[in-house]
Amino acid sequence: MDIISHFTHKASDTMSSVNLSAVLSSVSEPWQPTTVARFNGNEVMVAKALGSYAWHKHESTDDLFFVLKGIITIEMRDRSVRLGPGEMFVVPRGVEHRPVATEEAHFILIEPPGTANDGTTLV
């Protein structure tokens, strides 16, 4: 899902803020990022987490997770990082990982456009 067109503006337009809570209230499925902004060639996305996502890695880009609500654990093959509200973690490119949430959590992702959730590049 991409709501960015709702907030697209020209330099001469008045810029709009994005209410992340309102966007997240419209998200019904976990692990389905919604783009809320673009900057410096990257997409800012919000998503809900629940359960375990598939193991994957991004060969050409890092993966940034910033938790807004709840707890997300980023599991890697050699360790895990537990993130609560206001905490972030960057998974370096090439590191296999999977995010896990035992209860619903909300988070922000920042990635280059065209990066699939599973680490592959969309064409």
pLDDT digits (tens, 9 = 90+) for 23-37: 999 999 999 999 999
Question: Considering the domain boundaries, does residue 123 fall inside one?
Answer: no
In a domain, 13, yes or no: no
Q: pLDDT tens digit string along 84-100?
A: 999 999 999 999 999 99
Residue 28 placed within a domain:
yes
* 70, part of any domain: yes
pTM score, whole prediction: 0.82
Domain assignment present for residue 119? The answer is: no
Q: How many domains does the chain have?
A: 1
Cβ within 8 Å of residue 1, ≥6 positions away: 27, 32, 33, 34, 35
With a cut of 60, say whether residue 57 has pLDDT above it: yes
116 within some domain: no
**CA 7, CA 79: separation in Å to the nearest integer?**
38
**What CATH number is associated with residue 41?**
2.60.120.10
Which percentage of the chain shows pLDDT scores above 70? 81
- In degrees and rounded to multiples of 5, residue 56 shows phi and psi of -160, 170
